[in-house]
A and B are shown apart, each in its own frame.
Chain A
Amino acid sequence: MENSSDPASPLLEVRGISKSFGAVRALQEVDFTLRAGEIHALLGENGAGKSTLIKVVTGVFPRDAGIVRLGGEEVAPRSAKAALGAGIATVYQEVNLLPNLSVAQNLFLDRQPMRFGIVREGEMRRRAKALLADFGLDIDVAAPLGNYSVAIQHVTAIARAVDLSARVLILDEPTASLDRHEVEILFGIMRKLAGRGIGIVFVSHFLDQVYEISNRITVLRNGRLVGERETASLPRLELIRMMLGRELAETTSARASATEHKAREICASFEAYGKAGYVAPFDLELRHGEVVGLAGLLGSGRTETARLVFGAERADRGQARVEGAAVRLQSPRDGVRHGFGYCPEERKTDGIVAELSVRENIVLALQAKRGLHRPLSRREQDEIARRYVKMLDIRPSDPERPVGLLSGGNQQKVLLARWLATSPRLLVLDEPTRGIDVGAHAEIIRLIRELCDNGLSLLVISSELDEIVTYSDRVVVLRDRAHVEELAGGAIDVGNILAAIAADGAATAHEGRA
């Protein structure tokens, strides 16, 4: 696998790719170089632009600017099919094969061996068997693909791609649903293919696996290229810094010293709270007028913690208390009843209802809390909507405008308003500044501070470490689905958080996913 990485003749060259979705710039002049026979990890947090880059290169999205060269020749595929024809194959996390067809049909769909217009089933099965044997699989190829495990489906997808004479193989999170043994098999296959001169792009958020398999690493952050390094000469701490932080480290908590001494009452507490296979048991105290930040890499258990706290996921151990009284959080309804609010990360799919107006979106949670038999009158609705539009400075200030027409930052404010209208004691924000422009960014952070000063308790998840450092009174660091460190006061700075994330990563990497 170490062969033929001659930098002079790159296999796939991506130069100056830019892509915007509306006002959001998903990629800005990104370069990427893949050499023949190399396994190249493409890394970055959620929203860094990995998926967008892959989709632009494979023609799923049209690009705004930039060029792609394959083997020295410029290519511009307009569809995944065209990219496949050119020799760039992608295998996604959700296997793009047909579970209702046989394994053999999946391998040879639309190119079955034929005689007199009839598919030569025997010949096709023989070839399928031979092809899969090359990948170390010996299975009944006449059985439906859906009967087999995700790992086998992945290998089948790869085998199909390779058999279609792919020169570049892009694997998007291929190991996310595989167990350790299956990962080993997949890695064996990847090394073998690389040995044959195929260039492999490996997208993953499991850093141990990245260090195990890749020769080279490219890191993206917020749609920009951070850098390309040789895996062997890139320390883990440095890699995490590339993924999460800017060159900062000097940002420290603005609030720590100012408010530390104030004794605050506990709003909600969680003792040995957790769920098997989801998040390891943790202790967490949330106080009134305090912001607790959750830091960690993608997949480290941040969102999982938030969902447990809100009741969107049921804990199977531990005790939750609200204002000192023991409570059971079994559903989001319970969470709402106890005065919790939750703004999820995917605000487009899980949060706002794009077709409804700003007013209707804002009163949604309050109405749900009151129940159907106590409808809010139109006058009350107008009143509430007007108050929050003014308070959060939602623009345009027309409460009857469909939320889908607002910018990302204002959509986020509408979500905030929805929960604030229920007068919560605890608000959970998952990536509140994701995908919104810089100006709105600062405003959301200011809002978080203000809400906190008014006595609200906040639990905030963010991949932006400098941001977390700015507004948090305490920071909980997560790694591999467990809480590993809690920083408070002066100890909150980017360096300490990075150190906690990077510490001893190799030893605990796979424990959370058995």
Chain B
Amino acid sequence: MKGLPPALITAIVLVAGFAACAMQFPNIASTRVVGNLLTDNAFLGIVATGMAFVIISGGIDLSVGSVIGFTTVFVALAIERWGVPPLVAFVAILVLSAAFGAAMGAVIHIFDLPPFIVTLAGMFLARGASFLLSTESVPITAPVYSTVSDFALRMPGGGRLTAIAIIMLVIVIGGALLLHLTRFGANVYALGGSRTTASLMGVAVGKMTIKIYMLSSLLAGIAGIVFSFYTSAGYSLSAVGVELDSIAAVVIGGTLLTGGQGSVIGTFLGVLIQGLIQTYINFDGTLSSWWTKIATGVLLFAFIALQQGLVALARRPVRKSAGATT
């Protein structure tokens, strides 16, 4: 019901795309490649889950890429330069990023500002702050990093399900449950339908807005930690443009950009589609990696056109009956 048909289309596109790639490069159809795909896109999957909540509620969060960048730098410096135990550093950065998101949500609600502008400011702020901390890449050598990097579940066929891929899957499943089974999730859809109506129906719109942006920033913080595991370094220029990749994943996953409809599962499929394109280009070897962006652009356009078609189709009978009475 809630955006499943568009998500279903995403699933079909993913399966068809995977089948087509596997026909050209039979090696793609292996747990090894799938495992790598999940690992390579773990941070994107996490941050896109948060983005799905924000967009379904009718907002947008442009700051997530910068929050990831800031997180990697903060964690690297805390562990390597300031001598903070890794776990303490993680908790500190998660608290910090959650507070950052809550502050953006509060500004959006209290001053009734467009989320686009507020989170754009947040984007510059977080990116600038990470440059302030360090402009160079800081390698992380703490033992916990090699332990986590080495950890993996063996899959049949030789594939490795890494720790960060598992974190991502847990967050995606948790996000889906939160969105579809809880009162919080229902309120996210309500906000996306209409803020004024939701508030008239008793939803605490202000609290919800704060919580939603808090969730998005918190997940961006987790994605940042995951990214630092992935690269074993902190760099202020990391994850530039990831906010756009995650918005693309959300939209390809069948979520309406205007809010009110969508799903976390669809978003996850959208992430996988982007990962698949990247994998195909790696296998091909001759194509420039920028073809990922071009293919993503084409897909985005196709999905937006498709959604507009679906929306128009859904509205038609309503418009008819309204027309008869005016």
Contact = CB atoms under 8 A, between A and B. Distances in A.
Interface of A: 80-81, 84, 96-102, 105-106, 109-112, 114, 117-119, 121, 142-144, 146-147, 149-150, 160, 176-177, 277-278, 513
A100 B183 contact: no
Interface string B309-326: 000001000100110111
A37 B182 CA distance: 38
Interface of B: 1, 181-183, 185-187, 189-190, 192-194, 197-203, 260-261, 314, 318, 321-322, 324-326
Contact of B194 (A98, A114, A147): A98
Given A119-B181, A513-B325, 9 more contacts: A80-B200, A98-B190, A98-B197, A100-B192, A100-B193, A110-B183, A112-B183, A150-B321, A176-B325
Contacts of A81: 199-200, 202
B325 A177 contact: yes
Given A81-B200, A81-B202, A110-B202, A101 B190 contact: yes
A101 B189 contact: yes
A277 B324 contact: yes
A109 B1 contact: no
B189 A97 contact: no
Nearest to B325: A177
A112 B1 contact: no
- 4 nearest interchain CB pairs? A98-B193, A100-B260, A100-B193, A110-B202
A109 B201 contact: yes
A84 B202 contact: yes
Contacts of A114: 183
A109 B190 contact: yes
26 contacts: A80-B200, A81-B199, A81-B200, A81-B202, A96-B201, A97-B201, A98-B193, A98-B198, A99-B193, A100-B192, A100-B193, A100-B260, A101-B189, A101-B193, A102-B1, A109-B202, A110-B183, A111-B202, A119-B182, A119-B186, A121-B181, A142-B1, A149-B321, A150-B321, A150-B322, A177-B322
Contacts of A80: 200
A81 B202 CA distance: 6
Contact of B182 (A109, A111, A118, A513): A118
Counting chain A CB atoms within 10 Å of each CB, the highest count among B192, B193, B321 belongs to B193
B192 to A, nearest CB: 7
A117 B203 contact: no
A373 to B, nearest CB: 35
A109 B186 contact: yes
A146 B183 CA distance: 20
B318 A100 contact: no
Contacts of B185: 119
A97 B190 CA distance: 9
Nearest to A112: B183
B200 A96 contact: yes
Contacts of A149: 321
Contacts of A99: 193
Interface centre among A110, A111, A144 (most CB of B within 10 A): A110
A110 B325 contact: no
Nearest to A151: B321
A110 B203 contact: yes
A146 B314 contact: yes
B187 A96 contact: no
B1 A119 contact: no
A405 B254 CA distance: 46
A121 B2 CA distance: 14
A146 B1 contact: no
B1 A144 contact: yes
B197 A101 contact: no
B318 to A, nearest CB: 7
Given A100-B189, A109-B190, A150-B321, A117 B182 contact: yes
Nearest to B314: A146
B260 A110 contact: no
A176 B322 CA distance: 10
Contacts of B322: 150, 177
B203 A109 contact: yes
B201 A100 contact: no
Given A97-B197, A97-B201, A100-B261, A118 B181 contact: yes
A119 B189 CA distance: 14
Nearest to B259: A100
A111 B201 CA distance: 10
Nearest to A111: B202
Nearest to A278: B326
A100 to B, nearest CB: 4
A176 B326 CA distance: 9
A47 to B, nearest CB: 20
Contacts of B200: 80-81, 96
Nearest to A148: B318
Contact of A101 (B182, B186, B202, B318): B186
Contacts of B182: 117-119
Nearest to A106: B201
B321 A105 contact: no
B44 to A, nearest CB: 27
Contacts of B198: 98, 109
Contacts of B183: 110, 112, 114, 119
A143 B260 contact: no
B316 to A, nearest CB: 12
A109 B203 CA distance: 8
Contacts of A109: 186-187, 190, 198, 201-203
Given A81-B200, A98-B198, A146 B186 contact: no
A149 B325 CA distance: 13
Nearest to A176: B325
A112 B1 CA distance: 18
Contacts of A146: 314, 318
Contacts of A100: 189, 192-193, 260-261
A277 B322 CA distance: 12
Given A98-B198, A513-B325, A110 B1 contact: no
A110 B194 CA distance: 15
Contacts of B202: 81, 84, 109-111
Given A81-B200, A142-B1, A112 B321 contact: no
Contacts of B199: 81
Contacts of B260: 98, 100
Nearest to B260: A100
Tell me which of A84, A101, A149 has the highest count of chain B C-beta atoms within 10 A of its own C-beta. A101
A92 to B, nearest CB: 9
B197 A96 contact: yes
A98 B181 contact: no
A298 B82 CA distance: 75
Contact of A98 (B189, B314, B318, B326): B189
A117 B186 CA distance: 13
